[in-house]
Amino acid sequence: MTCHMFARWFGVVSVLLSLGILFNLDDALDMAKNMVKTETGYIMGGVLPIIFGSLSLLFMDCFHFNWHLVVTIVSASMLLAGTYRVIFVSHWKALMTKHLEDIPFLFSLFGLMLGVVLLYVGFIANTFNVTVS
C-alpha cells in the first residue's frame, strides 16, 4: 500500500463517516451514550485505531518532511489514541461521559478536516507537481 492509496482510502472513509455523523447528530449522540456503556465502545474506540494505525505505520513509516509525514502522523495518532483508550479504559470512559454532548459534533468536525487533508494528499498534491516522493 502506498502513501497515496492510504490517504485516498482513509480520506474517503473519514469524510463519509463524518458527514453521516454531522447530518445525524441526535442519533450519533445516542450511539455515543451506548458506546460508553458497552464493550462495543472498547472495540470501536480502542482496538480498531490500534489495528489501522499500526498497519499503516508498518507500511508507511516515512519521516521525510513532505506529504508522507502527514499520513505517518495520522497513523501514529491513531495508534496512540487507541493505546490510550485500551490502557486507560476507566479514564477514557469518564472523559467521554463528561463531554458526551460535544463529542459527535467535534468528532465530525475533526474527521472532515482530516479527511479533506488526506484527500488532498491522495488525489491533488501530486497533480500540481508537488514533490510527494
- pLDDT, tens digit (0-9, with 9 covering 90-100), for 52-64: 888 888 876 566 6
pLDDT band (50, 70, 90) for residue 131? low
Rounded Cα–Cα distance for residues 73 and 91 (Å): 24
Q: Which pLDDT score, from 0 to 100, does residue 61 have? A: 59
Q: Which pLDDT score, from 0 to 100, does residue 38 have? A: 81
Report DSSP state, residue 60: -
Does the pLDDT value for residue 116 go beyond 80?
yes
Average pLDDT in the chain: 85
Which residue, 35, 8, 7, 9, is CA-closest to 21?
Answer: 35
Question: Containing H/E element for 48?
Answer: helix 48-59
Q: Which pLDDT score, from 0 to 100, does residue 93 have? A: 86
Q: Which residues contact 133 (CB under 8 A, 6 or more apart)?
A: 64, 66, 68
Q: What is the pLDDT of residues 61-105, one digit of tens each?
A: 566 677 778 778 888 999 999 999 899 988 888 888 898 899 899
User: pTM for this structure?
Assistant: 0.76
Q: Where are the beta strands (DSSP E) in the chain?
A: none
Output 99 or 3, whichever has higher pLDDT. Answer: 99
Query: What's the CA angle centered on 84, arms 81 and 88, to 5 degrees?
Result: 150
Q: To the nearest whole percent, how much of the chain has pLDDT over 90?
A: 35
Residue type, 42: Y
Report helix angle 48-59 to 67-87, nearest 10: 150
Rounded Cα–Cα distance for residues 51 and 43 (Å): 10
Q: Where are the beta strands (DSSP E) in 38-114?
A: none
70: cell is: 502527514
Does the pLDDT value for residue 129 go beyond 60?
no
